[in-house]
Amino acid sequence: MKDLLRVIEQVRARIEKHRAELQKSEALTRYVLIDPILRALGWETEDPDQVRPEFPTETGTPDYALKQGGKPQIMIEAKRLGSDLEEARRKGFQYCFENKVRFYAITDGVIWRVWDLGAEIGGKELIGLDILKDPPGEAIRKLLALWRPAAPQVKVAPSSIAQPSPPPLPGITLSELKVKVKRGDKPPQLVIFPDGQREIIKTWNGLLATVAHWVIPKLRRGQIPIRTGPKGYLLNSEPIHLSGRPFDSPKKVNKLWLETNWSAPNHVRHACRLLETIGVSPDEVRVEI
């Protein structure tokens, strides 16, 4: 279940990042969203004995036939992200009836719907799932209906299935780093922001510049310049301190100037200061050492 949870989280992130492209392409939706879910459920998408894409029938070509014992057990119709799935439902029922396949699913990578066509006239819908809205534990419970080791039966897992604990967050918070960092320490390798953005860093001033780059678009009018003390600026429209002295080590970030001539502890302290300027706690930003 950990692998399935990881894949669900990956799919959610890909939807948010590539939504516009996925809404234009069924092939991309299948490759990026649907195939990883099938593999996490135990179906080897590269093995025609398990998964037959574009399965030929006399009435059409379902996008997937999930097979066991050489026979299709589950037909799946895939659509590009955001598609209307109702037409796919009608066509898929016909595929299944004429090929004596009991179970049918349709998906656009977010919505998954599965029917048992042998349960009653017109079929019985077994699951309706929204990967973006359903809690991870509920999503796993429903998707396990398509778990390959359980085929050819398709049954929803009991509602008492435990919701998996979220995976531990990587690294430490910026607040924790602020307490423990000393002069001469090596810089972190990665910074992770509350919105999920991740940036690789190599130096201490790279950490500060990366935080500044994330913070600057969120600053309100009048929040520039940002001071470091009674005589100095950390961030300014010109590389000049309050005292009139030029920045010692200026770095241009998003059309503003950042002073980067600091020790390792002060780089972290000033990164925290930038975050707090926009109301973000350093506890919400993590770094990997």
The residue whose two tokens read 């300027």 is 277
The residue whose two tokens read 């009048």 is 222
**What's the rounded Cα separation, in Å, for the pair 206 and 273?**
16
What pLDDT was estimated at residue 157? 67
**What's the rounded Cα separation, in Å, for the pair 31 and 23?**
13
What pLDDT was estimated at residue 163? 54
The DSSP bridge partners found for residue 112 are 107, 129
What pLDDT was estimated at residue 1? 66
- Extents of the domains making up the chain: 2-150, 172-288
What class, spelled out in words, does domain 2-150 have in CATH? alpha beta
For 13-50, the pLDDT digits (tens) are 999 899 999 999 999 999 999 999 999 999 999 999 99
Listed residue (235, 230, 225, 228) closest to 259, CA to CA: 235
**What's the rounded Cα separation, in Å, for the pair 59 and 52?**
16
As averages over each run of 10 residues, the pLDDT of the chain (289 residues) reads: 86 92 94 95 93 83 87 90 80 75 91 82 81 89 88 68 57 92 92 88 94 94 88 94 93 94 95 93 91
What pLDDT was estimated at residue 218? 93
CA-CA-CA-CA torsion for 137, 138, 143, 147, nearest 10 degrees? 50
What pLDDT was estimated at residue 209? 95
- 53: which residues sit within 8 A by CB, 6+ positions away? 45, 63, 64
The residue whose two tokens read 């299944």 is 96
What pLDDT was estimated at residue 237? 95
The residue whose two tokens read 């600091």 is 262
